[in-house]
Structure 1
Amino acid sequence: MGAPSQVGSESSSVFFELEKSFRDLENERNLRVLHAGDLSHLYLNKKSEDYYANCRFIYIRSIEHYLSLFPAEDTLEVDVNTPANVSGWDLKKTLIALLKGNPEPLDWVQLKDPYAGHDEFPKSLVSFALEYCDPVRFALYHYNRLERQKHRFDGVSLTEIVPERLYDLIRSSLVLRWYNQNRYQGVPPSRLMEIAEATFIRPVLRGEIEELVERSEAGMIKDVVRPAGAINDLILSELEAGPALLARRRRAFTQETASQADRFFLKWAVVPKN
């Protein structure tokens, strides 16, 4: 795995430091990192000067660990020697979350420039989700994210909001529209601009999203921002479509689903490193 930019730059230094941190983590904690990436890639194409890495990773321990009456925690917070927030989920927790309708791990494995992991794991996890998870539940996860921010709307417009939260609202709104346009089949792209390209939206909305991303990458947005008109309309539109989504039928959780999740877990518990 190579650094995402020129060697010697600050972002390359952060990349190599985090890459080393994950190697050390595997050795010190007796686990394997299946995938590790930076959440900033969901929204931005390049780092701003005040870039702060926000890493998420999926890991698995030895089979013997899961036979214990007192297994270790299924989440990890990792201290690293660089400005970064680093946390991870055990594969068992990851699979249960997906089956319950939390699509975030699918976003993590689509992150570019991974710091660590197995080359085949991202494709394998996405394939599992396509076969056994419920797109309607995934869509509801994004709708609930919008619903939790509904109080921020002053009449018919969104009040000022921090950029990171606005990115989440835009991306969740686009994901909801993507699911609707694709009849709730498939897994949408994770990155903001990729989901915008994959979704049929008005040119004015696409332009507002591109401008917001460009301003963020240039370091022009430091505190809070008020979304432009088309972005505001997008979020409101998907909130208004909520009742129809809530009425959709969910896929049943079956014994076959549980068995396939077990098989997937055991496969990756014994797969050797790259």
Structure 2
Amino acid sequence: MHARIHAALTRLEASHGIRILYACEAGSRAWGFPSPDSDYDVRFVYCHPPQWYLALDESRDTLVFPIDDELDLSGWELRKTLRLLRGSNAALLEWLQSPIVYHEAADFRAVVQPQLPECFNPLAVLHHYQGLVRRGVEEDLLPEEVRLKRLFYALRSALAARWIRERQTLPPMAFAPLRVLLPAALQPHVDALLQCKASANEKTTVPRPELLVAFIEAEYAANQHARTTLPTPRRHDPTPALSALFRRLLGVA
């Protein structure tokens, strides 16, 4: 599959006249709990030749393609990416931590990662994860039989939000390091469900695990409170550094 992904990225560069700077896995395979039939969620950052940026009007800054069999492929243009980083976009912050990197040029991750502490806004990222927890609490985890996939989405998001509340640092992308925040009594339940998910398909359901759901509901309530009490550190404006990085990656600095 990796060869197919590399071939798809090469074709994209040729057909769209772009340079792909970074491509990574962004879904359950990167989080650490894939199912055998999980898609490959490939996300990439690309740039155009410098003259593309000199037009009076800005052009399309996103490339999205229909899911083809197992491959879900989409990407953001470099300027859009750096603007989203400035706004502490949670999805992008995850991409930049992905343990599965399919392609990298110009030492992209190495030169971008030093900007993360200045761009990370705890409240903004907490809000993102709280939205995912809300879906679990209000929709996905209500039936007596719940989709295993959706249970782990909600649990991972609850732990990421808890990480922000307790540590006020960027939460890791992978599920394994987040598990240190899970009460010891719940760890065996998670182990059993992970083992089940490793051999289940994306639509597999399990009886609602009441203890885990109660934990997620409690985290949801704690997050609601934290949205009004979480301190937001004052940071330097990252715009000058990101602008310099933009020029460097375009090769015009």
Structure 1 residue 251: Cα displacement? 5.1
Which of 162, 166, 176 is the matching residue for 1:181?
166
Q: CA RMSD in A?
A: 2.8
Q: 1: CA distance between counterparts of 2:30 and 2:153?
A: 9
Structure 2 counterpart of 1:189, which letter?
P
Q: How does 1:176-255 map onto structure 2 within 5 Å?
A: 176-182=161-167, 184=168, 186-196=169-179, 199-219=180-200, 222-247=203-228, 248-250=230-232
TM-score computed with the length of structure 1 as normaliser = 0.78
Q: 2: CA distance between counterparts of 1:192 and 1:119?
A: 29
Change (3 A) 1:242 1:80: closer
Do structure 1's residue 265 and structure 2's residue 249 form an aligned pair? Answer: no
* Alignment-derived partner of residue 152 in structure 2: 167
Q: 2: CA distance between counterparts of 1:221 and 1:83?
A: 12
Do structure 1's residue 90 and structure 2's residue 77 form an aligned pair? Answer: yes
Preserved contact between residue 35 and residue 58 of structure 1 (Cα < 8 Å): yes
Identity %: 21
Preserved contact between residue 118 and residue 235 of structure 2 (Cα < 8 Å): no
Q: How many residues align?
A: 250
* Alignment-derived partner of residue 124 in structure 2: 137
Q: Deviations over 1:51-75 (max 9, x none)?
A: 4322211222222212212443111
Structure 2 counterpart of 1:190, which letter?
M
* Alignment-derived partner of residue 7 in structure 2: 20
Preserved contact between residue 136 and residue 151 of structure 2 (Cα < 8 Å): no
Runs of 4+, deviation exceeding 6 Å: none
TM-score computed with the length of structure 2 as normaliser = 0.84
Change (3 A) 1:181 1:252: closer
Preserved contact between residue 133 and residue 157 of structure 2 (Cα < 8 Å): yes
Preserved contact between residue 145 and residue 172 of structure 1 (Cα < 8 Å): yes
Runs (5+) with no aligned partner, structure 2: none
Q: Deviations over 1:90-144 (max 9, x none)?
A: 2222222233342111212222332222373224333212123312211121112
Structure 1 residue 253: Cα displacement? 8.0
